[in-house]
Amino acid sequence: MSHIILDVKNLHITFEQPKVSKQILEDVSFSVKAGKCLGILGESGSGKSMTTKAILGLLNRDFKISGSATFEGNDLLQMGDGELRTLRGSAIGMILQNPMTCFDPLYKIGNQIYETFDAHGIYPRDQYKAEAIKILEKMRIHDPEGVLQKFPHQLSGGMLQRVMIGIAMSMNPRLLICDEPTTAIDSITQYEIIKEFQRIKAESNVGMLFITHDVSVISHIADEIIVLNKGKLVDRGPFSEILKNPKDPYTKLLIEKKLAVADHYKSVLAEGGAR
């Protein structure tokens, strides 16, 4: 039986300024188990990314947060900035939406990987290059030695995303937070990145929190999903169950829209093949 890595209870987020008060998230609870993937599904503005930002201490003082987010026995919401910084990138890995913005354009890929090693002190300096090559090989990147010498703009979005996944996994995280990691890349590369996440699930015991607005992406990875709509949790369960029997009209609409697009795509391919 998988144990719970992250347990979020009664999470509320309110944006507050002198003349403005807006509820962003209302009473959301969920848990992530070791070796399993929980998907958070919702459209833009549903509160899905704000959920993880709150958990990781990435929101500024204008946001009031209540509830609890227990990671390995400690409530992340009660931790100071320094403690959270130590956890982020090591015990808790993060894969973000646009890989291009996560790398410094002025430094080579190799230097940026070595900087991560430096920050977490996981390898002796004389092993940096060998370990970086291992990471890139594991992510099936061709010519890893050459890639270390390249600048971010010389690599495709899909390759940068692979590098980011490789760096995150090299820290041996217990929890991996993936925030729309397939949004900024083309559909063929998207499929390859999904396969990488499936491989990570199969080969490691990391708990995965996967945030997306895309029903088809989440269907390939998540064991269970929760659906957020305007800051409220409106549906939860195994993906297959929600696909067959969505309880909430919003979930039903999301699924129907996605299936209609998929059916149209199949019919276009079929017409092309018939010509």
pLDDT score recorded for residue 182? 78
Query: 260: helix, coil or strand?
Result: helix
Annotate 37-104 with three-state secondary structure. EEEEECCCCCCHHHHHHHHCCCCCCCEEEEEEEEECCEEHHHCCHHHHHHHECCCEEEECCCHHHHCC
Query: In this predicted model, what pLDDT tens digit does every residue of 116-174 receive, in sequence order?
Result: 888 877 788 999 999 999 989 888 888 999 999 999 999 988 888 889 888 888 888 99
Domains assigned to the chain: 4-91+176-274 (3.40.50.300), 99-172 (no CATH)
Whether the CB-CB separation of 2 and 34 falls below 8 Å is answered with yes
Neighbouring-strand partners of residue 224: 38, 238
Helix axes 128-138, 109-120, angle to 10 degrees: 110
Structure pTM? 0.85
